[in-house]
């Protein structure tokens, strides 16, 4: 369970209590604690278009590495990558992300992918955990239990920082996860089945909210992934620094968050389910440019 407030959830009730400018200043001063999620129905922002414009300006303002708070995570990820740690006192610099040991450039653009040594299709998060375990001999149990930083300006967790660092090394690359291995193809198909699988107290599936072009929940536009452009723009912008949560967030977190909105119990971190959904969406985003960490509301 992630404590802290959940802006922009289907709830549509938390974001309402904050204006964009207060979000912006909260993010700029970074460590400002967020208000508790008092379920106050009713109050709504006065015009989301204005909010969008403000956010656009804000994004432009801090799109350079010097001021996007997401880059703090990239930096700490780099430190984690190059520091000898764990019982084996090793760095992660021999970690093979699919393009050979230590080859970082463009590796994220080809994930998720099949890893013969692990016998699994892995996304960046699963693979990094695997490297921490096998190369450094680290016990990742605690990290798997609490993989995401609490909202409100807390530093990224180790795994979030590492993903930010690794993903950032694919900037300028285009998504090229081929998904040709039978197990990769299976992951994409499993992700597709999961996308349409309805469950829980509101009968939701991913399709409920992302099943048609141009729809929105409250005032939030919902990406429709069958449109290549939308899939590319989405997948090419994660990990992202979420202003509303004042935190660097990864694709695993986004999927966890959407299952939370679906009233599902917490989905297993780096489970076959979350990796398959990421594989399905990444396949749809093929050819899309990567520019991360981005910044979103």
Partner 1 sequence: MLRILLAATAATLLASAPLGATEPKTSDLKTSAGAEVAPGISRERLEQAVAAAWKNLPPDMQARVVQDETMQLCSQYRNSPPPAVADAILAREKKNVAYPADGKLMGDWKAGEKLALSGFGGRMGDNPKLPNGGNCYACHQLAPAEISYGTLGPSLTGYGKIKGNTPEVQKEVYERVYNAQAVFACSNMPRFGHNKFLTMEQIKDAVAFLLDPASPVNK
Residue numbers annotated as active site: 258
258 binds, among partner 1, ligand HEC, none (CB under 5 to 8 A by kind): ligand HEC
Is residue 269 a contact partner of residue 252, using CB atoms and an 8 Å limit?
yes
Q: Which residues bind ligand HEC (CB under 6 A)?
A: 8, 10, 204, 206, 208-210, 217, 220-223, 234, 237, 254-255, 258-259, 261-262, 277, 281, 296-297
**Binding flag, residue 87, partner 1 (CB under 8 A):** no
For partner 1, which is the closer residue by CB, 91 or 271?
271
61 binds, among ligand HEC, partner 1, none (CB under 5 to 8 A by kind): none
Binding partner 1 (rule: CB under 8 A), the pick from 96, 186, 286, 291 is: 186
What minimum distance in Å lies between the beta carbon of 195 and partner 1?
Answer: 9
Say how far apart CA 224 and CA 182 lie, in whole Å: 26
For ligand HEC, which is the closer residue by CB, 81 or 256?
256
Strand pairing report for 240-242 and 294-296? parallel
What minimum distance in Å lies between the beta carbon of 267 and ligand HEC?
Answer: 8
Is residue 108 a contact partner of residue 68, using CB atoms and an 8 Å limit?
no
**Binding flag, residue 207, partner 1 (CB under 8 A):** yes
- How crowded is residue 253: how many other Cβ atoms within 10 Å of its Cβ? 25
DSSP state for residue 240 in the 8-state scheme: E
Phi and psi at residue 56, in whole multiples of 5°?
-60, -45
Binding span for partner 1 by CB under 8 A among 105-113, 146-154, 231-239, 273-281: 273-281
Torsion of CA 150, 156, 158, 161, to 10 degrees: 150
For partner 1, which is the closer residue by CB, 252 or 294?
252
203 binds, among partner 1, ligand HEC, none (CB under 5 to 8 A by kind): partner 1
Q: Is the peptide bond before 196 cis (omega within 30 degrees of 0)?
A: no
* Residues paired with 256 in a beta bridge: none
DSSP state for residue 84 in the 8-state scheme: -
- Provide the residue count of the chain: 297
Binding partner 1 (rule: CB under 8 A), the pick from 50, 198, 226, 287 is: 198
What minimum distance in Å lies between the beta carbon of 212 and partner 1?
Answer: 8
Place of tokens 């949560």: 245
- How crowded is residue 291: how many other Cβ atoms within 10 Å of its Cβ? 15
From the list 174, 166, 184, the residue with the least C-alpha distance to 112 is: 184
- Return residues touching partner 1 (CB under 8 A): 1-3, 6, 9-13, 16, 39, 41-42, 44-45, 47-48, 185-186, 189-190, 192-194, 196-205, 207-209, 211, 214-220, 260-261, 263-268, 271-274, 276
């Amino acid at each position: 369970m992630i404590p802290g407030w959940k802006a922009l959830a289907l709830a549509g009730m938390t974001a309402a209590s904050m204006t964009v400018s207060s979000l912006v200043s909260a993010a700029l001063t970074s460590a400002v604690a967020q208000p508790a999620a008092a379920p106050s129905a009713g109050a709504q922002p006065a015009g989301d278009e204005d909010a969008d414009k403000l956010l656009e300006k804000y994004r432009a303002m801090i799109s350079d590495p010097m001021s996007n708070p997401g880059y703090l995570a990239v930096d700490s990820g780099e430190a984690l990558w190059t520091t000898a740690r764990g019982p084996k006192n090793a760095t992660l610099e021999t970690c093979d992300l699919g393009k050979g040991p230590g080859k970082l450039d463009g590796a994220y653009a080809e994930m998720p992918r099949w890893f013969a040594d692990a016998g699994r299709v892995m996304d960046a998060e699963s693979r990094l955990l695997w490297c921490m375990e096998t190369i450094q001999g680290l016990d990742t149990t605690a990290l798997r239990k609490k993989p995401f930083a609490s909202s409100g300006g807390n530093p990224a967790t180790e795994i979030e920082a590492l993903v930010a660092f690794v993903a950032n090394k694919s900037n300028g690359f285009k998504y090229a996860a081929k998904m040709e291995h039978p197990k990769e193809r299976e992951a994409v198909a499993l992700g597709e089945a999961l996308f349409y699988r309805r469950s829980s107290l509101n009968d939701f599936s991913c399709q409920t909210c992302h099943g048609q072009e141009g729809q929105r929940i409250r005032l939030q536009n919902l990406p429709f992934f069958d449109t290549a452009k939308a899939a590319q723009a989405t997948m090419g912008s994660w990990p992202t620094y979420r202003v509303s949560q004042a935190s660097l967030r990864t694709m695993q977190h986004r999927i966890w968050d959407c299952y939370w909105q679906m009233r599902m119990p917490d989905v297993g971190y780096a489970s076959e389910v979350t990796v398959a959904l990421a594989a399905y969406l990444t396949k749809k985003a093929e050819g899309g440019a990567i520019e991360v960490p981005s910044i979103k509301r």
